[in-house]
Amino acid sequence: MYTEVHVVPKALALLKVAAAQHSRTTPYTRRSVVFDKRGATSYTIHMLYILRHGQTEWNARGKLQGKTDVPLCGEGKKSAEEEAKRNADIRFDVCYCSPLLRARRTAEIFLKGKNVPVIADERLTEMGFGIYEGTENALNCTKSPLRELFTDPQNYIPDGGAESFDSLFKRTGEFLEQVALPLSNAGKSVLIVGHGAMNAAIICRIKGIPLNGFWSALTENCRLLKLI
């Protein structure tokens, strides 16, 4: 399910052992166990942070990126360096990121010199927009589903190979359940580096934001957010 981009073997092995021991001995503290696209499962989580990748040329031009592998631009690299300085005092045990270049590079720059394992997981890839990737000014596209995607997500019906909200919430929910929660509940500081829509799905789950408020969870490029 994931590929390792940059891993410190001993550190990662210790993290896996801690998560495995915790999952056998300590149940997750939950107030709800419902996973659906309209709401969030509520957890007591210790240290979970999330960061959207730095800016790309497509971001600057207002183009939908989705799964298209667009690299960081100069401004994106600079913002990752600046955000690293602003948060230099935060300790991270492990970082999970999208395998797309813009997210991986952001993670590498942000964590430079910290000796933190960086692991790419396919479930953290950006929401796919199919044939509409590369579209500029999506809100003006009245003859495609893109307008509903951003203004009426509850009624969004994807076409042209685009991904549904059901699919996005399913894979990000699995990641939280199988990876992030066992580690964070074991007391580890976990960083997720991803994308606009993918990060929003995780934020909605953690904070209990319904689908009609999905885009309220959209964060700026390269701004660290502590979820709990």
Q: How far is CA 219 from CA 37, 51, 202, 225, in A?
A: 19, 8, 12, 9
Q: Where are the domains of the chain?
A: 2-226
Over residues 145-182, the pLDDT tens digits come to 999 999 999 999 999 999 999 999 999 999 999 999 89
In one-letter notation, the amino acid at residue 198 is M
Active site residues: 53, 126
H-run or E-run covering 192: strand 189-194
Report the chain's mean pLDDT, rounded to a whole number.
85
Using 50, 70 and 90 to split pLDDT, how confident is the model at 137? confident
Query: Of all residues in the chain, what percent carry a pLDDT higher than 90?
Result: 75
**E strand or H helix at 79:** helix 74-86
pLDDT tens readout for residues 42-93: 444 469 999 999 999 999 999 999 999 999 999 999 999 999 999 999 999 9
Instruction: Quickly state the pLDDT bin for 140 (edges 50, 70, 90).
Output: confident
User: Are the C-beta atoms of residues 97 and 125 closer than 8 Å to each other?
Assistant: no
Strand-pairing partners, residue 2, are 121
- pTM exceeds 0.85, yes or no: no
What per-residue confidence (pLDDT) applies to 182? Answer: 94
Task: Find tokens 């056998």 and name the residue.
Answer: 24
Fold observed for domain 2-226: Rossmann fold (3.40.50)
Hey, what amino acid is at 184?
S
